[in-house]
């Protein structure tokens, strides 16, 4: 059998309940040889047993942590097992289309790109709504009076557009960032830049890597002939502790502050203002569905705003209760 050029590293994104569907899709739609390293960050017992069975049957490397992992922590664990020319970081809630991996490798070989991203869709039905089709992420310097201010400009091309409407405009092209939902990376870039920054716990990890790679002279491409979808959905009770940690105010505030300090963006309002929206992912996935149920299927902003302080208190409770279950916890 041909030796694989690629190691796929799968890590938890925000839940574990989609593990089976995502792993089945990976094997059904990947038609070139690959190695698989699956990082299991303290999944519930049913998922843990499923992964153990699959690892034996399919002969992939399963790395189990008995603590919850922030995504970059999990990626760095997986990275330590990579011995191939390329690796692909993939979240554990991604559905693939046939031939997705070969198209990424072909793009990397033909362009000599450091990173190649597929066209990434979001939600269900799968492969219909664009989340990422390339974009911009650059530092700009502005002068305001006597102050010099550094800002990051970000732009997703065709964000939330129906794929059927924009498909004709999409082509392989160089871009300025990729998404960790799925990205192919040349393994040797980590010999230059070191490991991923694990102080970025839940946000801006992809922008940090993209800026770092660009700073080192690397290139990033989007290959829209390769299509994947990350699937958002119902959070099961067994997912709740990890989900609440993953999107906690503490993790988000710490990540934003570290990112701004690292890239000298202390005065950048667009990031610091995000602190006013801490918890937005939790509100979308947990609070709003609850409010709709309590309001007979209707939107109720008044009730949602009244419940936010209670939800935040519950989130802080989860942080206190599960903090000892985090890698690197003191």
Domain range summary for the chain, segments of one domain joined by + = 6-230, 237-325
Token pair 């790395």 is at which residue? 63
Say if residue 48's pLDDT is above 60.
Answer: yes
Kindly report, residue by residue over 166-199, the tens digit of the pLDDT: 999 999 999 999 999 999 999 999 999 999 999 9
Q: Please state which of the four CATH numbers 3.40.50.150, 3.30.565.10, 3.90.190.10, 3.90.550.10 is assigned to the domain occupying 6-230.
A: 3.90.550.10
Widest CA span of the chain, in angstroms?
65
Give pLDDT, residue 198.
Answer: 95
Say if residue 116's pLDDT is above 50.
Answer: yes
Q: How many CB atoms within 10 Å of residue 215?
A: 10
pTM over 0.85: yes
Mean pLDDT of the chain: 91
The residue ranking higher by pLDDT, 5 or 252, is 5
Question: Rounded CA gap, 71 and 83, in Å?
Answer: 21
The residue ranking higher by pLDDT, 237 or 48, is 48
Rounded to an integer, the average pLDDT of 208-214 is 98
User: For residue 247, what are the CA distances in angstroms to 34, 39, 93, 286?
Assistant: 32, 19, 16, 11
DSSP 206-219: HHHHHHHHHHTT--
Question: Rounded CA gap, 208 and 214, in Å?
Answer: 10
Query: Nearest-CA neighbor of 209 among 139, 302, 115, 292?
Result: 115
Say if residue 330's pLDDT is above 70.
Answer: no
Give pLDDT, residue 305.
Answer: 81
Say if residue 13's pLDDT is above 50.
Answer: yes
Say if residue 268's pLDDT is above 70.
Answer: no
Give pLDDT, residue 309.
Answer: 81
Give pLDDT, residue 282.
Answer: 82
Give pLDDT, residue 329.
Answer: 46
Cβ partners under 8 Å of residue 292, min gap 6: 298, 299, 300
- Using pLDDT thresholds of 50, 70 and 90, give the confidence band for residue 328: very low
Query: Nearest-CA neighbor of 123 among 237, 9, 234?
Result: 234
Say if residue 24's pLDDT is above 50.
Answer: yes
- Let me know: does 226 contact 163? Beta carbons within 8 Å: no
Between 15-24, 29-38, 212-221, 241-250, the lowest mean confidence (pLDDT) is in 241-250
Query: Nearest-CA neighbor of 119 among 162, 64, 63, 71?
Result: 162
The residue ranking higher by pLDDT, 296 or 111, is 111
Give pLDDT, residue 293.
Answer: 79
Rounded to an integer, the average pLDDT of 2-22 is 96
- Using pLDDT thresholds of 50, 70 and 90, give the confidence band for residue 324: low
């Amino acid at each position: 059998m041909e030796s694989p050029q690629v190691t796929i590293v799968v890590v938890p994104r925000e839940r574990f309940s989609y593990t089976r569907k995502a792993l089945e899709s990976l094997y059904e739609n990947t038609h070139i040889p690959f190695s698989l390293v699956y990082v299991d960050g303290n999944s519930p017992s049913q998922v843990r047993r499923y992964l153990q069975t699959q690892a034996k049957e399919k002969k992939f490397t399963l790395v189990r942590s008995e603590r919850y992992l922030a995504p970059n922590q999990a990626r760095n664990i997986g990275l330590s097992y990579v011995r191939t020319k390329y690796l692909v970081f993939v979240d554990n809630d991604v559905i693939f289309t046939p031939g997705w991996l070969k198209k990424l490798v072909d793009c990397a070989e033909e362009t000599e790109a450091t990173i190649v991203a597929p066209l990434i869709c979001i939600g269900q039905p799968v492969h219909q709504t664009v989340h990422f089709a390339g974009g911009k992420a650059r530092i700009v310097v502005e002068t305001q009076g006597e102050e010099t201010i550094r800002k990051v400009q970000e732009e997703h091309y065709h964000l939330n557009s129906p794929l059927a409407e924009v498909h004709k405009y999409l082509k392989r092209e160089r871009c300025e960032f990729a998404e960790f939902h799925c990205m192919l990376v040349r393994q040797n870039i980590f010999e230059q830049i070191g490991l991923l920054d694990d102080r970025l716990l839940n946000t801006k990890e992809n922008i940090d890597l993209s800026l770092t790679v660009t700073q080192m002279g690397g290139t990033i491409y989007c290959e829209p002939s390769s299509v994947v979808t990350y699937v958002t959905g119902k959070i099961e009770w067994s997912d709740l502790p990890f989900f609440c940690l993953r999107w906690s105010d503490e993790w988000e505030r710490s990540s934003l502050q570290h990112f701004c300090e690292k890239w000298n963006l202390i005065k950048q309002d667009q990031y610091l203002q995000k602190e006013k929206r801490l918890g937005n992912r939790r509100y979308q996935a947990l609070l709003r569905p609850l409010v709709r149920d309590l309001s007979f299927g209707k939107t109720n902003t008044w009730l949602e705003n009244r419940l936010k302080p209670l939800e935040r208190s519950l989130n802080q409770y989860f942080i206190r209760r599960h903090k000892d279950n985090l890698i690197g916890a003191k």
